[in-house]
Structure 1
Amino acid sequence: MKLNLVLGAALLAAFVSCKEKKDKNIVEEIVEIEEVTPETYAEISIKKGGSWKEGSREYDGGAFENVDELVVPEEHTDHSWYIRYEGPGWENKQIAYRLYLDWRNAMDIFGKKVDTLVLPYVGTDGFDSYHNNAPWGQDILKAGKSMGIGGYGRFTGDTIAHFNEVAKTSVKVANEEAHSSVTIDYEGWKTGDVTTDLKSVISIFPEDRFLKAELTPNTSFEGLATGIVKFDDIPVMEATSESGAWAYIATYGVQTLAGENDQLGMAIFYKTDQAKATEGPHDHLVVFNASTETQTYYILSAWDQEQDGIKSKEAFEQDLNEKLATLDANGMLE
């Protein structure tokens, strides 16, 4: 996909000014409009022109249109047919992700076989067509009751409390030269006896397969957590950086919707002074300390059908350890 730099207005004004001159000089210089292919992209796309069915939480009719910001309607839930692929998406040439913007609040992976941007076309030929294998790739992760890869909720000791009770959810999308990001503000998120506001800023960068996630609650409480979905017979891998400042949890193996021999690696990098790893019923977890400070972590996945991608567990572990060393040295990956 190519996006044009809009120079038309200034060019037209210059041309009209020239035409109005008495000597009717001809504009001889031709200004070419440069075509730029973005290196990152984020979006959210909603139905417009339809309506919510009476007595239902489904949106009927209308057509999808991208918006820069959105206050999620109270009627919206999973499978409301209102948000294209059910939430915001992020991508670069290597990988794409989406977040279910409803009570589940899980994050999913769109595996890509191409090195071009695909999200503007995902789900436009049928609401859930992305579950099917296509030339660009497909949805490859089954989140189930988990938080997927890098989603977030509250760990209460025996379960994850998702986002069943939220007073208001607002979303903003930004596409900039250095990165693309989605900011989500949850107001009045209630879990048990805790009610908090939570700001989530998730960013993708031009190179590599990771997202940066930043979570900021306005109330200090126990149990804010992220994680990786569990699959039978796929063990969790863990490592800590040389200084002890950063660590990761990861999995690698046959854990996709794309085929019996399809290989996927997933990882979460976290700061050891902010969080610790543990196990939940459906997720390998990273649970953050009670704090109102911003909790920062990185989400990473590697699909073996990606162009020039990681093809083995050994290569995946090598990539993780190199990133762990970078975090130790620089404190960031981007």
Structure 2
Amino acid sequence: MIKKGIASLSFFCLCTALLSCQSEKENQQQEIVLTNQSSVDLTDKAVAVNRDKLSGIPEGDLYPVLLTQAGDTVAAQLDDLDGDNKWDELFFVTDLPANGKRTLLLSWANTQPGYTTRTSVRFGKRLAADSPVQPRTSDTLYANQLPKSANYGYQPYQTDGPAWENDKVGFRHYFDGRNAKDIFGKKVSYMSPETVGISASGAVEDNYHEMKEWGRDIMAVGNSTGIGGIALMIGDTPYRLGVTVNDTVNNVENTSFKILTEGPVRSMLQLRYNNWKPDGTDRSYTVEEQPTIWPGMYAYRNTVEAAGVQGDETLLIGMNNLDKTDSIAEINVDDEWVVLLTHDRETYNNEWILGLALILPKAAYLGYMEAPASGKLAQAYFAKMKAQENQPVTYYAVGGWEGSNEAFKDPASFRNYVQDLTRQLAAEVDVQVK
């Protein structure tokens, strides 16, 4: 949050600009009244206001300005989530006291206010082994385009696929057919460099397993699906979505990726797996997921849905289990959520403590299972969730590295953090626009 004096000056300048180029009617402010309906103090609570709840939206490319009644600026962004080139939601994060209210004033500016960047997405690809990596906002991977495929033979993707982060933690998705989710441990609140995973000459380079000022890749994934990665069980048999690092042909016909939105307070991706045929079956599925991150939490949200479901499937949501020191804990939180949690050294060479957790909706939860010690889908715990045709399941994946927060060394502290985060995420905020 910007200090009051700076915010007041910025607001004065914005108002002057608005008055010079817009009509008085267009400059009428709206009040957004937020009511915390829970008994929990909320920090960086995510709030999304649908476009249809706002009135008098000015024409043209204008930007929202949100002010508290004290004159402080609240970072906000407009997100087009359906790709129709028209924004759908006003999004921001804010603090709210338990059972308390807060009123924000919404106006519009013709220039983008400057905010501290607290989320980002990074994705790059090279088109040939000797070509430099270029940033991209979307891509499609076909079944014969794996790094070990005969016509490839190289890793095309920066950091093996897209990475997303906030001011607390970073994650990455192995878009190269493996479809596991890894963790970048952060030691700083600013965003890690865009050049992570790229050499000075622009080539793909594994330079993120070395400790830098910002942090490094910390988690050992093996043949698990990482933290929050997905798989499917048909009957009693689990199947990997995609392949392992040494495979040459994917079992997914094509996998598409695109950045849905990237902004100072929210970034969202879309991953779509078209015509996935689990090995040894005659089944075909289309699966979609939307990893999303906003500031203030050592976690990301994911929403998954599948088409082609026949009724004997179970959605599996993973957390890796390469270190057997700590057994998994199952924790019920307020009758609506279930937490699966481990606290051990799920890191390279077992060097650091890394607490992992899944925050799962109890209504869809069917228990958990342990994967085999070896094989294409191994070294993991899986939450078992109801799989229904085109019915989304939303959950949260948490990674608490001791290098980011020393309190995470203590198992009770990490457990308390995850339980508090669950209540923060579950808390409902009533939004009224006046």
- Residue in 1 that maps onto 2:42: none
Q: Does the CA contact (< 8 Å) of 2:157 and 2:176 recur in 1?
A: no
Q: Which moved more, 1:35-44 or 1:86-95?
A: 35-44
Offset of residue 78 of structure 1: 4.6
Offset of residue 61 of structure 1: 0.8
Q: Does the CA contact (< 8 Å) of 2:228 and 2:319 recur in 1?
A: yes
* 1:81 match: secondary structure: coil
Residues 275-303 of structure 1: per-residue CA shift (max 9 Å, x gap): 22222222111122120200111001111
* 2:269 match: secondary structure: strand
- 1:117 counterpart = 2:191: yes
- Residue in 1 that maps onto 2:136: 67
Higher relative contact order (CA 8 A, sep 6+): 2
- 1:325 counterpart = 2:423: yes
Structure 1: 5+ residue stretches without partners: 1-31, 52-59
- Residue in 1 that maps onto 2:302: 213
Offset of residue 255 of structure 1: 2.1
TM-score by length of 2: 0.62
Q: Does the CA contact (< 8 Å) of 1:186 and 1:198 recur in 2?
A: yes
- Residue in 2 that maps onto 1:108: 182
- Residue in 2 that maps onto 1:303: 401
* 1:169 match: secondary structure: strand
- Measured in 2, the distance between the counterparts of 1:61 and 1:152 equals 33
Q: CA 1:225–1:321 in structure 2 vs 1: closer, same or farther (change >3 Å)? A: same
- Measured in 2, the distance between the counterparts of 1:301 and 1:330 equals 24
Q: Does the CA contact (< 8 Å) of 1:211 and 1:298 recur in 2?
A: yes
- 1:41 counterpart = 2:115: no
Q: Which amino acid aligns with 2:134?
A: E
For 1:237, which of 329, 342, 361 is the aligned residue? Answer: 329
Residues 241-270 of structure 1: per-residue CA shift (max 9 Å, x gap): 222x2101011122211763x111110011
* 1:273 match: secondary structure: helix
Structure 2: 5+ residue stretches without partners: 1-110, 149-153, 243-249, 373-378, 430-434
- Residue in 2 that maps onto 1:153: 231
- Measured in 1, the distance between the counterparts of 2:113 and 2:428 equals 35
- Residue in 1 that maps onto 2:355: 265
* 1:72 match: secondary structure: strand
Alignment of 1:106-255 (within 5 A): 106-125=180-199, 127-156=205-234, 157-163=236-242, 164-173=250-259, 174-191=261-278, 192-221=281-310, 222-230=313-321, 231-243=323-335, 245-255=336-346
Alignment of 1:47-62 (within 5 A): 47-48=126-127, 51=128, 60-62=129-131
* 1:197 match: secondary structure: strand
Query: What is the root-mean-square deviation in Å for CA atoms of aligned residues?
Result: 2.6
- 1:278 counterpart = 2:369: yes
Offset of residue 62 of structure 1: 0.7
Q: CA 1:168–1:131 in structure 2 vs 1: closer, same or farther (change >3 Å)? A: same
Q: CA 1:258–1:330 in structure 2 vs 1: closer, same or farther (change >3 Å)? A: farther
Offset of residue 35 of structure 1: 4.8
* Identity level (%): 24
- Measured in 1, the distance between the counterparts of 2:238 and 2:274 equals 22
Offset of residue 142 of structure 1: 1.1
- Measured in 2, the distance between the counterparts of 1:226 and 1:77 equals 24
* 2:424 match: secondary structure: helix
Offset of residue 162 of structure 1: 2.7
Q: Which amino acid aligns with 2:219?
A: L
Q: Which moved more, 1:293-302 or 1:223-232?
A: 223-232
TM-score by length of 1: 0.80
- 1:288 counterpart = 2:385: yes
Q: Which amino acid aligns with 1:181?
A: M
Q: Which amino acid aligns with 1:106?
A: A
